[in-house]
């Protein structure tokens, strides 16, 4: 449970850094919550791997708090791994590796959070 909380906090900090004007509002949106849940899920899987393979994680698997911290933050480090970065024809960077998965999800979150915020602002103006 603690590993999932650490993973969600990493996701929340990532969203907060993207939406500096209203960070809590972006995090509370359904798409923001989905991103936090994905981060929490990945961290929980990391914790399961630590306990499933204790010989590979000597010292970490014996301490529950250390295992939760390692899984919570380590899962995000692993998911942000880029094996290579390829330049597109328009000059944009494309990641090859696990970073691609979170980048696509984060782009989807960005689009939908921006759309929700624009609709709210439009209602305020009218």
Domain coordinates in residue numbering, the chain = 2-125
Low pLDDT (below 70) residues in the chain: none
108 token code pair: 């989807």
Q: Which residues contact 51 (CB under 8 A, 6 or more apart)?
A: 61, 67
Give pTM, 2 decimals. Answer: 0.81
Three-class DSSP category at 96: strand
Q: Secondary structure of the chain: what % helix, strand, coil (to 5)? A: 70, 5, 25
Alpha-carbon distance of 36 to 33, in angstroms, equals: 5
């Amino acid at each position: 449970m603690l590993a999932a909380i650490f993973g969600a906090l990493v996701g929340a900090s990532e969203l907060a850094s993207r939406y500096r004007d209203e960070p809590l509002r972006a995090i509370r949106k359904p798409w923001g919550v989905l991103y936090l849940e994905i981060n929490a899920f990945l961290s929980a899987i990391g914790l399961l791997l630590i306990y499933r393979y204790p010989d590979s994680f000597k010292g970490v698997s014996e301490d529950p708090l250390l295992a939760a911290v390692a899984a919570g933050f380590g899962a995000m480090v692993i998911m942000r791994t880029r094996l290579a970065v390829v330049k597109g024809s328009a000059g944009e960077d494309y990641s090859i590796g696990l970073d691609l998965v979170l980048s696509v999800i984060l782009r989807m979150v960005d689009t939908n959070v921006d759309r929700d915020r624009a609709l709210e602002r439009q209602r305020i103006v009218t």
